[in-house]
Structure 1
């Protein structure tokens, strides 16, 4: 496994937060929006990952409305706490109608719930306590706002996190889904070390503004959905059927026409994967974390076998020529929206 330090823009030499380049993404472990979950399989997947060098785990309270954090807590309870990095989030409430309505949804029992982006000070303090309890720990390594809340001043939000850092409940502050303007604003009030944003071979829009900003200001980029939620594994063919409550069914990426185009691209890079004795998915992951500014990739796994495959992606070596060749094929790929 490869490990990378997460930047401290004022004192790069002072930061001691090091994350595994493949970080375990525990969204699907919560079941919510992913067509259910098998708790014991998820626990095992996290544990096997850890033994393969994946020491960092990213979760959030809203994933399964607390279930994902509980699963992470259960999985790591016997590991030395200082050898695991827990990344979680705040600012999405399903138990309170305040802030900015994000979506109507259903919980894992099929009950209607409304989810709000809400990042007021009192709410964050409460959320942190709840997360610590579910995770079975007394501190969080990286605490990230999940989505921007238009109804709360960023200054108030970041003040709450600063307070949690002073109390030792949080080590570092990060954000998710922030563009450059939001990053600039939040950085006035707190030392932000990272931005967690979607990035994959078929979703590269952050290369325009976010990547240059983060490189210049020494902020890590944590790339989520690097496999575009299964699209880039090569296992989804035109006509693929999703479970009724799987959110992917409505996304343009999974239209038959796009599945066909993506699979044609993957066929072009398959000989290179074969040559490296790797799966297409492993090659995709390795390419992703070699892109400028991309610090780590968050990768989900349903079971231990998938988790170990993800970890092994870092054992592949790619030359600059090979990376260029992959990117060249990619630049020719045009998806239909």
Structure 2
């Protein structure tokens, strides 16, 4: 495994980081706790020591699973990334969207990052995770109802108390990052990035490269689209958010499938899967520090971790870029 520094902090993350959203089941058609635990442990055995989770993933379920998975591991050998700022148990801030919990009960999800809320969220996360500190604490989505300075001051206090090692943001644009940095030094920004979603290359990537900020790429597989396993006409399970996700609609699946057919020979020649090729390409891109990759079971986790062994030449990378120029999601 390769390990990379998060900005100018002391936190080092595995270049392939375990994304635990699906492990929480919420919006993914449920979860199998035993398989999720096995996936995290299988990842760790292959050097994937970093795990990204959030309270909203299963309304605490994902964090609880992560806590159970790491309870017998040396704490200083694991990096826990979690988030704050999405409440389903408090009607404050901005209503993000209505949803349902894993039991099918209706919930309303709010974006809220007020000071006292953050302090409470941190304590709740620490309990669920079974630890006394979080390696990287990130606001999940911008909260327009709370001054960014107030949010960052709260995280700064948590750092002073030793409950958080480094501060990150997620889904922040460039202007929001700059404003946050007026109050607190940021280590990272977690944003969507994949072969078919590269808009951050225009401004966020250059800024982060210049100012030594890490970029944590989430959904590098575009929620399974780039694995080559989801063919046109695929039917998702009830409760799976991908039924309405635009990447799978309006001919986008067909467009991406055509692209994957062009790079499949490269994967076959290297004797790797399309998914492994995609992961390696992602972490090779300028400014991308780690790729967050989810797994529903140990087999998927092992395949993801082994992507670190894939090697792409400059010519192969250029070929992939060239093919991507013809792919545009609508």
Q: TM-score range by the shorter chain?
A: over 0.9
Query: Residue 11 of structure 1 aligns with which residue?
Result: none
What is the Cα deviation at residue 334 of structure 1? 2.4
Residues of 1 paired with 2:107 and 2:251: CA distance?
A: 33
Q: Which residue of 1 aligns with 2:227?
A: 233
Deviation at 1:258, TM superposition (A): 1.8
Displacement of 1:264: 1.2
Q: CA deviation at 1:21?
A: 0.5
Match of 1:211 among 205, 209, 226: 205
**How far has the Cα of 1:276 moved from its partner?**
1.0
1:333 aligns with 2:327: yes
User: Any idea what SS the aligned residue of 1:144 has?
Assistant: strand
> What does 1:134-149 align with in structure 2 at a 5 Å threshold?
134-149=128-143
TM-score (norm 2): 0.99
Q: Is 1:22 aligned with 2:16?
A: yes
Assess if the C-alpha contact under 8 Å between 1:176 and 1:197 holds in 2.
Answer: yes
Query: What's the secondary structure of 2:302's corresponding residue?
Result: helix
| Alignment partner of 1:298 out of 277, 292, 296 | 292
| Alpha-carbon distance between aligned partners in 1 of 2:76 and 2:314, rounded to the nearest angstrom | 35
Corresponding residue number in structure 2 for 1:12: none
CA distance in 1 between counterparts of 2:259 and 2:147 reads: 44
SS of 1:236's equivalent in the other structure is coil
Say if 2:115 is the partner of 1:121: yes
Moved over 2 A (4+): none
Equivalent positions of 1:265-276 (< 5 A) are 265-276=259-270
How far off its partner does 1:255 sit?
2.2
Judge conservation of contact 1:93–1:115 (CA < 8 Å) in 2. Answer: yes
**1:60 corresponds to 2:59:** no
1:223 matched to 2:217? The reply is yes
Equivalent position of 1:202 in the other structure: 196
Whether the aligned pair in 2 keeps the contact of 1:238 and 1:255 (CA below 8 Å) is no
Instruction: Tell me what 1:32 maps to.
Output: 26
* Separation (CA, whole Å) in 2 of partners of 1:293 and 1:188: 22
Q: Deviations 1:269-310 (Å, cap 9, x if unpaired)?
A: 111111111000100111111111111000000000000000
Aligned ranges 1:74-93 → 2 under 5 Å: 74-93=68-87
User: Which stretch has the larger CA shift, 260-269 or 170-179?
Assistant: 260-269
* Alignment deviations for residues 85-143 of structure 1 (CA, whole Å, 9 cap, x no partner): 00000011100101111110000011000011110110000000000000000000000
Q: What residue is the counterpart of 1:3 in the other structure? A: 3
Match of 1:192, SS state, is: coil
| TM-score normalised to structure 1 length | 0.97
Shift of 1:256: 6.3
Tell me which residue corresponds to 2:245: 251
**Any gaps of 5 or more consecutive residues in structure 1?**
9-14
Deviation track 1:186-235 (CA, whole Å, cap 9, x = no partner) reads 00100100000000011111111111111111100000000000000111
Q: How many residues align?
A: 330
Please give the secondary structure, in 1, of the residue aligned with 2:328: coil
Between the aligned partners of 1:258 and 1:293, the Cα distance in structure 2 is 27
The answer to whether 1:191 aligns with 2:185 is yes
Report what 2:156 is aligned to: 162
The aligned residue for residue 105 of structure 1 is: 99
- Structure 2 CA distance for aligned equivalents of residues 46 and 256 of structure 1: 34
Residue from 169, 173, 183 that aligns with 1:175? 169
